[in-house]
Chains A and B, each alone.
Chain A
Amino acid sequence: MNFYTAKADTAAERRVAVDDMILTKTMPTAAGSRMLDGYMSLFDAEVITRLENAGYAIAGKTDVGEFAIDLVGETSYHGAGTENGTLLSASAEAIKSGDVPAVVCFDVNGSVCRAAAQNGLVSVKPTYGTVSRYGTIPAACSGETVSVMADSTAKCREILDVLAGHDDKDGTSLSEEQCALVKTAAAKPAAKVAVLTNFCEAVDDAVSAKLDAAKAALTAQGVEICEIADEKIAAARAAWNILMCSELCNNVSRYDGVKYGYRTQNFTNIDELYTNSRTEAFGELLKTAILFGSDNLSTENYMKVYDKALRIRRVVCEAFEELFKAYDAVLLPACSRLAYTEAETKADKYLAFEENQYTAPASITGLPAVTAGSVQLIGSMFSENMLFETAKLLAKEGE
């Protein structure tokens, strides 16, 4: 785990860390990969500029898994953070240890949501396009989102309010009016929440207990809970894996050992330079994702696989739209268990592509998701305020 401390003189509550997918001019950015080990950006990400302009100090950087596609950071080039065999998230540890009250993270495949759930923290993955991705390391551009993990709902909201806003430098940034909705939309809790039961079947007893506690807390506060099953939303995982890996394959094609990043010492010609640099620098999960994505985009599979996944994205979006006609929010787990062990990830190297079944619905649709009380709430576009207020009910019950 890497954690570079800087500007320690800033008041504790104004100190924020950012994860290693976010470019910083004064600290290295490696995306958890040997390919970018020691890489120094020439500019700051837009979110860094916004934080500093608002009087926050970037206190350090937290390590991530390679290109943030893993469970909680275990594929980092620097090695997995563990305690008694249990995997640790560097961002969650930075908050739990009291170093910072919040970390600005880059959510590509649900690692932020899982880490928050497993560590009893709060996270928000805002509506896609409301926080600038300028200066983040691209992985799966159509669904990745700058997110916030914090020690409380209030802190999470405070930091999101600083980050949200239109940015001309990001082609997917929404208008200022739309971005403002993240801060100004009605701040009242959900009246009706749908629990997606088919997502609750494969979770362990600890997660099941958290779901029961969440349902009880919401019911106690007068929120109507309805249990429903939705097979269309459940298809999000398979479709997201296809889209994420295809986009990732293209995005990491730029790393070739020539203009920046790792270069092998073992080459005699240009092909060997490219191949050996990438082979030596990339980890196993990333290599699998690259090959999978490349195959999805091949002439043989483009229509059968990639095009199908794009159509499923619309199916999932429409399924949510339909749900939000009757419910204000959707409740589902963030992960199948409250801890992952190193042994589990060694036995099943592709566990991240299974566990993302809980986070893929928000990733593939761009909908906002708040994790609190170790469960996840998804709302309609720009409903962050409602999700925060609903999450506060979970916290209240916990106290």
Chain B
Amino acid sequence: MDRETLRRLELLNQLKLTEEQKEEITAFFDCREKDLAVLNAIDTSQTERQVHVMPIMTVVREDIASQPFTVEELQKGAPDTDQGYWCVPRVVE
């Protein structure tokens, strides 16, 4: 794991790490190589991937409009709101 890749991951995930955290996480990533070796020791060339543990059927419901919650209820936990809107800093300069 090089620092440039780590920086890219930080940006992608909207996180900022301290130098100490970067070192620890780099060491953790390096351990993954050992884990990958364990997995690669098992031949899966003839094995299909398994996304779900059980067969999953797509749930289809009737398209019926409803309003389980009001705007006020949905915004109760919001850090900053104004007249039914969520407030964020200016996006367009």
Taking the complex as formed, is A228 at the interface, i.e. its CB lies under 8 A from any CB of chain B?
no
A237 to B9, CA, bound (A): 23
A315 lies within 8 A of B28 (CB): no
A171 lies within 8 A of B59 (CB): yes
Interface size band for B:
35 or more
A273 lies within 8 A of B88 (CB): yes
A357 to B80, CA, bound (A): 43
Given known A-B contacts A259-B86, A260-B77, A295-B5, A235 and B42 have beta carbons under 8 A apart:
yes
Minimum Cβ distance to chain B for residue A124 (Å): 17
A42 lies within 8 A of B14 (CB): no
Q: What sequence of 0s and 1s flags, for each residue 220-240 of chain A, a beta carbon within 8 Å of any chain B beta carbon?
A: 000000000001101101110
| Interface positions of A from 227 to 259, Cβ below 8 Å from B | 231-232, 234-235, 237-239, 241-242, 249, 253, 256-259
Taking the complex as formed, is B65 at the interface, i.e. its CB lies under 8 A from any CB of chain A?
no
Residues of chain A within 8 A of B16, CB atoms compared: 275-276, 279
Interface of B is mostly: loop
A364 to B53, CA, bound (A): 8
Please tell me which stretch of A9-17, A51-59, A196-204, A304-312 contacts chain B, meaning at least 4 of its Cβ atoms lie within 8 angstroms of it. A304-312
Interfacial residues, chain A to chain B (CB-CB below 8 A): 39-40, 42-43, 128-129, 142-143, 168, 171-172, 174, 231-232, 234-235, 237-239, 241-242, 249, 253, 256-263, 267-276, 278-279, 282, 284, 287-288, 290-292, 294-295, 304-305, 307-315, 317, 349-350, 364-366, 381
Interfacial residues, chain B to chain A (CB-CB below 8 A): 1, 5-6, 9-10, 12-17, 21, 24-25, 28-29, 31-32, 35-36, 38-40, 42, 44, 47-54, 56, 58-59, 61, 68-69, 73-74, 76-80, 86, 88-91
17 inter-chain pairs at a CB distance below 8 angstroms, sorted by A residue, are A39-B77, A42-B73, A43-B68, A237-B35, A249-B13, A263-B80, A270-B89, A271-B14, A275-B15, A278-B15, A287-B21, A291-B6, A291-B9, A294-B13, A310-B49, A311-B48, A312-B44
